[in-house]
Amino acid sequence: MTSLSDPTPQTPVVETMPAKSPARLSPQELKLRRRARLNASIRYSLLIVVGFIMVYPLLWLIGASFKTNAEMFASPWFWPENPTIQGYIDGWTTSTPYTFATFFINSMQIVIPKVIGTAISATLVAYGFARFHFPGKRILFAILIATLLLPDVVTRIPQYLLFRELGWLDTYLPMIVPAWFAWEAFFVFMLIQFMRSIPREMEEAARVDGANTFQVLIYIVVPMLLPALVSVMLFQFMWTMNDFLGPLIYISTVEKYPISLALKLSIDATEAFNWNSILAMTVLALTPSLVVFFLAQKSFIEGISTGGTKG
């Protein structure tokens, strides 16, 4: 039976909906309405349950950071019985001569230059690939994609040797400098794809208006690219904050440790782990990523993309 020939009960609803007040609905209509409401409540209940399960570890982490060490593993429920901020106090002072503030600053010294460098270099390289013809473009693009597929481990040792020759060990340079040369092909690729989806007329109009290649990039392309650029910076921020292996390989002085290493440090240093101080510092370590993410979300939504060419 097709929906066309079906003597469907929906038809009267559609016809009379705007005219009738809710108080004078026929039993038929009331039934439909109830069913719709029931469907919606089932849907939302399911979503809430699944959502809660997924977010529970994070809730537990935050709750547990206020528990005492004794209570820590006594109950899987996240709510602390005797809330205390002792974990935060112990954690902040750390078992080293430095406070956690030092490690925060260290992390920022890596993250900020790296994010800026990535944004600039990836944009430049993507602009070149997406908008210009030059000899060898195909081969270079193929190489770019190939490095995307290359596992990280393969390049670790040659890179280490290279940076050792340059005398960059125990500095942040091995982590920062590559970012200024569009080292992460993934970001370049992402921006190229986004640029390809932007019509070229705006750039052509700007050229006719007298803009040179660089001005077209700055005044026209970058603003239109902004949503993608924000994503790139966001990813780079979070990945760098969470990067453990990079600092582990290149940084040997405790004073220069970023957060990711410092957290590990507090696990190693004490025999009976102060779980609540570790968890407290983990919460603090997560905070910048969360804050940046929620700030950046706004410009995702405000995405301007291609509004200028709609008909």
Partner 1 sequence: MAELQLKSVEKTYGNGYKAVHGIDLTVEEGEFMVLVGPSGCAKSTTLRMIAGLETITGGEVRIGDTVVNDLVPGKRGIAMVFQNYALYPHMKVRRNLSFGLRLKRLRKDRIERATEEVSGVLEIEALLDRLPKQLSGGQAQRVALGRALIKQPEVFLFDEPLSNLDAKLRASMRVRITDLHKRLRDEGRPATVVYVTHDQVEAMTMGDRICVMKDGHIMQIADPATLYQRPANAFVAGFIGMPEMNLNRAVLTRGDGAMLTLGTQSIALPAECAGRIHAPDGPVTLGIRPQHLDVVAPGTVGAFDATITNLEFMGHEVNLHAEAEGAGFVAVIASENFDTALARGDRVGLSPRPRNIHIFDVESGENKSLD
Binding site for partner 1 (CB under 8 A): 133, 199, 201-202, 204-212, 215, 219-220, 223-224, 226, 304-311
86 vs 299, beta carbon nearer partner 1: 299
CB burial string 131-144: b at 16+ within 10 A, e below: beeeeeeeeeeeeb
Q: Report, in Å, the least distance between residue 144 CB and partner 1.
A: 21
Q: Report, in Å, the least distance between residue 121 CB and partner 1.
A: 23
Other C-beta atoms lying within 10 Å of the C-beta of residue 191: 26
Structure tokens at 292: 């940046």
Residue 184's φ and ψ, nearest 5 degrees, are -90, 100
Distance of CA 167 to the CA centre of its chain: 32
51 vs 223, beta carbon nearer partner 1: 223
Q: Report, in Å, the least distance between residue 137 CB and partner 1.
A: 12
> Distance (Å, rounded) from C-alpha 10 to C-alpha 32?
8
Structure tokens at 139: 């081969």
SS3 200: coil
Q: Report, in Å, the least distance between residue 221 CB and partner 1.
A: 11
Q: Report, in Å, the least distance between residue 72 CB and partner 1.
A: 51
Which residue shows structure tokens 């940084």? Answer: 251
Q: Report, in Å, the least distance between residue 122 CB and partner 1.
A: 20
225 vs 279, beta carbon nearer partner 1: 225
209 vs 255, beta carbon nearer partner 1: 209
Q: Report, in Å, the least distance between residue 191 CB and partner 1.
A: 17
Comparing C-alpha atoms, which of 238, 285, 234, 250 is closest to residue 264? 285
24 vs 133, beta carbon nearer partner 1: 133
131 vs 264, beta carbon nearer partner 1: 131
Which residue shows structure tokens 């994010």? Answer: 115
Distance of CA 103 to the CA centre of its chain: 21
Q: Report, in Å, the least distance between residue 124 CB and partner 1.
A: 20
72 vs 206, beta carbon nearer partner 1: 206
User: In Å, what is the CA distance from 153 to each residue of 61, 230, 242?
Assistant: 31, 28, 17
24 vs 310, beta carbon nearer partner 1: 310
SS3 207: helix
> Is the CB of residue 120 less than 8 Å from the CB of residue 180?
yes
CB burial string 4-37: b at 16+ within 10 A, e below: eeeeeeeeebeeeeeeeeeeebeeebeebeeeee
